[in-house]
A and B are shown apart, each in its own frame.
Chain A
Amino acid sequence: MVAIRFIAVDGSAQTIDATVGISLMENAVANGVEAIEAICGGNAYCGTCRVHVEPEWRKITGPITEIEEPMIEASGDTDPGVRLSCQIEVTEALEGLVVHTPESQS
Chain B
Amino acid sequence: MSSAQVQGCPVRHGRDDRKSARLADANLQPAKNARVVGSFAAAREILRSPKVRQAGASADQIDLSRPEEISFFFLDGDKHRKRRAAVAGLFAPKTIVTRHRAVMDRTMDAIVADLQGRGSAPLDELSWQMAVDVAAEIVGLTESDSNVNLANRVKAVLDSSVSRKPGFLNTLLFNAKMIPRVGKFWKHDLAPAIEARKRQPKDDVISYMVKENYSKKGMIMECLSYGGAGMMTTREFIVMAAWHLFEKPELRERFLTGGEDDQFAILEEILRLEPVASLLHRKAAEPVEGTQGASVQEGETVCVSIREANTDEAITGPCPYELDPDRAKRMKVVGPYLSFGDGPHRCPGAQVALHETRVFLDRLFRLPGIRLVSEPEIQWNPQIQGYELRGAVVACDPA
**Chain A interface residues toward B at CB < 8 A:** 29-30, 32, 38-43, 45-48, 66-67, 69-71, 73-76, 105-106
B94 touching A74 by the CB < 8 A rule?
A: yes
Given the known A-B contacts A39-B351, A40-B346, are A30 and B332 also in contact in the complex, defined by CB atoms under 8 Å?
Answer: yes
A47 touching B92 by the CB < 8 A rule?
A: yes
B332 touching A45 by the CB < 8 A rule?
A: no
Q: Mark B90-106, 1 if CB is under 8 A from A, else 0.
A: 01111111000000000
B348 / chain A contacts, CB cutoff of 8 Å: 45
B351 touching A46 by the CB < 8 A rule?
A: yes
The binding surface of chain B is classed by DSSP as helix
A105 / chain B contacts, CB cutoff of 8 Å: 93
A38 / chain B contacts, CB cutoff of 8 Å: 334
List, sorted by A's number, 13 A–B pairs whose CB atoms are closer than 8 Å: A42-B334, A43-B342, A45-B84, A66-B85, A67-B85, A70-B85, A70-B89, A71-B92, A74-B94, A74-B95, A75-B94, A105-B93, A106-B93
Q: In the docked arrangement, what's the CA distance between A32 and B332, Å? A: 8
Q: Nearest-CB distance from A60 to chain B (Å)?
A: 24
Q: Please, which residue of chain A has its CB at the minimum distance from the CB of B87?
A: A70
Contact partner of B93 (CB less than 8 A), chosen from A39, A41, A73, is A39
Given the known A-B contacts A32-B332, A41-B342, A106-B94, are A73 and B351 also in contact in the complex, defined by CB atoms under 8 Å?
Answer: no
B351 / chain A contacts, CB cutoff of 8 Å: 39-40, 46
Q: Nearest-CB distance from A106 to chain B (Å)?
A: 4
Q: In the docked arrangement, what's the CA distance between A105 and B84, Å? A: 21
Q: In the docked arrangement, what's the CA distance between A75 and B89, Å? A: 8
B85 / chain A contacts, CB cutoff of 8 Å: 66-67, 69-70
Q: Please, which residue of chain B has its CB at the minimum distance from the CB of A43?
A: B346
A45 touching B88 by the CB < 8 A rule?
A: yes
A66 / chain B contacts, CB cutoff of 8 Å: 85
Q: Is residue B81 contacting chain A, with contact meaning CB distance below 8 A?
A: yes
A106 / chain B contacts, CB cutoff of 8 Å: 93-94, 96-97
Q: In the docked arrangement, what's the CA distance between A106 and B96, Å? A: 9
A76 / chain B contacts, CB cutoff of 8 Å: 94
Q: Is residue B350 contacting chain A, with contact meaning CB distance below 8 A?
A: yes
Q: Is residue B56 contacting chain A, with contact meaning CB distance below 8 A?
A: no
A30 / chain B contacts, CB cutoff of 8 Å: 332
Max count, chain B CB within 10 A of own CB: residue among A41, A42, A70, A105: A41
B346 / chain A contacts, CB cutoff of 8 Å: 40-41, 43, 45
Name the interface residues of B314-348: CB closer than 8 Å to any CB of A.
Answer: 332, 334-335, 342-344, 346, 348
A46 / chain B contacts, CB cutoff of 8 Å: 92-93, 351
